[in-house]
Every structure is written in C-alpha cells, then in structure tokens.
C-alpha cells in the first residue's frame, strides 16, 4: 500500500486541509517527557493534521445586536462560550480526533505501532491542563516541524494560507514516511504588524520575549521556535471579563479573506 497516498486520500475526504510529516529528528532538544519517543520508543515520524477555523465565527461583535431574545449584557458571553467555542473549537476538535483515530488504525493495520493525542484545550485535557499548565505534547511545535507554518508573535502557528486560524492534532508512528519540507518563506509579518500584541486586551502575550528582547531571532528568517510567551492566567481572566477568546486569531492579517 502507498501509505502516504492513502493518508492524502483520507485527508481530502475528511475535511483535513493541512497534512504534514515531521521526522522525529526534528524534535531533538524537546523538553524531557515531551519528545515523540517519550511516548513511542520506536517512533519515526509525527503526522500532523490541521482543520481551518471558519473565519465567520471570529467576527461576532455585531452578531445578534438588538435581538429581543438576548439581553445586551448577556450577548458577548453567549457568543463567545456558546457560538465561538462550539463552532470554532469543540466541533473541529471532534473532527481532528475522529480522523486521528482513523489514521492511527490505518498505520496499525500495516503493522506499525502508532498513537495519537487529543487536541490541546479540548474537554479531555481540561483537568490535566489546569493541574500542570502545559499539554503532554505540543501540536504547535509538531505543526511547525511538519512544515505547516511558523511561530508568530501571537505564540501561535501561522500558516501561509490560513494564518493562525487552524486547529492541529498529532499522530506519532513507527511508520516510514517521506518528510514534508520545513516552511521556507515567512508567514508572520513580525513587529511591522504586531496587531496580535496590540489587540490583546489582557496583555497576555509577553513582549519581553519579542519586541524588547535583543536576542529575538532575525525577522527575515522563519521562526521554528516561539519568539513570545502567553500568560495563560491573564488570557483566561481576560476571556472571562472581556470575552475576547479568538481575538488574537481575528486580528492577524496573515491568510485573511478579502471580504
């Protein structure tokens, strides 16, 4: 069987817009406990899949204004925690999990030990994340190392076509697969834009690792590692008060539709 061809066929029929393969060697230097071989001793590759977030769910400021069914003081919370979180988050996570299982079983049927994760911040991760403050495996790093994007100032993966508006998941396998090349052209506009930093109402994206950091990587090269840090406590507090979840995605001009 042409496994790579079958991967691409399944992806195209299951709504997977992005598919990349990162050899485990690209994860050298990963923190202890977070390398692919910390989960699968004979892992050779990490397959990363991505589903774009429908851009319409991000621009909710004017939605339902004046609705007789929803008081104005309740509207922002409703649109963030019901509309955006469901349409732009949980439903996509479910699709990623379903396809990850299908691909994992495909590899297994071909005789390769394989495992997959659940998307970060999904319901299954809530207790673990609240306790440890970090996911067991970084889908962001895997996506960058699979050539699907680069780290942006927003501390998210910026894809050339979709910007940061993509959910990712990772499958670790012992199968031999051709690697996809790393990104060669920048997708993040860097400090010449910085809309994500300026538009964060909670100031949760730390500039100390970006604009004022003399060790900041060259803005003319693709950023394979984070150049900023997100204070997740500030981020959550801001979401609860300003209902700003998704704003750092919405303001990024990379991969933006014309209308």
pLDDT digits (tens, 9 = 90+) for 141-183: 999 999 999 999 999 999 999 999 999 999 999 999 999 999 9
Nearest of 204, 201, 196, 167 to residue 87 by alpha carbon: 167
Q: Domain spans of the chain?
A: 3-250
At residue 259, does pLDDT exceed 50? no
Residue 135's pLDDT band (boundaries 50, 70, 90)?
Answer: confident
**What's 31's DSSP letter?**
P
Place 134 in a pLDDT band, splitting at 50, 70 and 90.
confident
SS3 246: coil
- Residue 103 · residue 21 · CB < 8 Å: no
Q: Which residues contact 140 (CB under 8 A, 6 or more apart)?
A: 151, 156, 157, 168, 226
Which two structure tokens, joined as six digits, stand for 28? 């050298």
CB of 103 within 8 A of CB of 10? yes
> In what helix (H) or strand (E) does residue 24 lie, and over which residues does it extend?
none
The total of other beta-carbon atoms located within 10 Å of residue 234's CB is 16
- Give yes or no for a contact between 32 and 60, defined as CB atoms under 8 angstroms apart: no
| pTM for the full predicted model | 0.92
* Contact (CB, 8 A) for 193 and 253: yes
Q: Does residue 132 carry a pLDDT above 80?
A: no
């Amino acid at each position: 069987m042409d496994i790579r061809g079958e991967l691409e066929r399944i992806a195209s029929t299951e709504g997977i817009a992005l598919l990349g393969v990162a050899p485990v060697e690209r994860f050298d230097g990963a923190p202890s406990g977070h390398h692919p071989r910390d989960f699968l001793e004979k892992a050779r590759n990490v397959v990363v899949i991505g589903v774009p977030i429908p851009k319409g769910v991000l621009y909710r400021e004017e939605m339902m204004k004046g609705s007789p069914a929803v008081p104005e003081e309740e509207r922002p919370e409703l649109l963030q925690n019901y509309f955006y979180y469901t349409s732009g988050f949980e439903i996509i996570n479910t699709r990623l999990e379903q396809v990850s299982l299908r691909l994992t079983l495909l590899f297994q049927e071909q005789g390769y030990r394989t495992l997959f994760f659940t998307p970060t911040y999904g319901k299954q991760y809530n207790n673990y994340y609240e306790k440890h403050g970090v996911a067991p495996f970084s889908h962001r790093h895997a996506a960058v190392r699979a050539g699907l994007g680069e780290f942006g100032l927003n501390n998210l993966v910026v894809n050339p076509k979709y910007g940061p508006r993509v959910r990712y998941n990772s499958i670790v396998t012992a199968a031999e697969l051709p690697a996809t090349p790393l990104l060669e052209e920048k997708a993040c506009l860097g400090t010449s834009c910085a809309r994500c930093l300026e538009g964060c109402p909670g100031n949760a994206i730390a500039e100390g690792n970006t604009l004022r950091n003399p060790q900041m990587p060259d803005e003319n090269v693709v950023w394979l590692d984070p150049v900023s840090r997100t204070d997740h406590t500030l981020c959550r507090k801001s979401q609860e008060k300003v209902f700003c979840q998704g704003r750092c995605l919405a303001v990024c001009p990379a991969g933006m539709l014309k209308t």
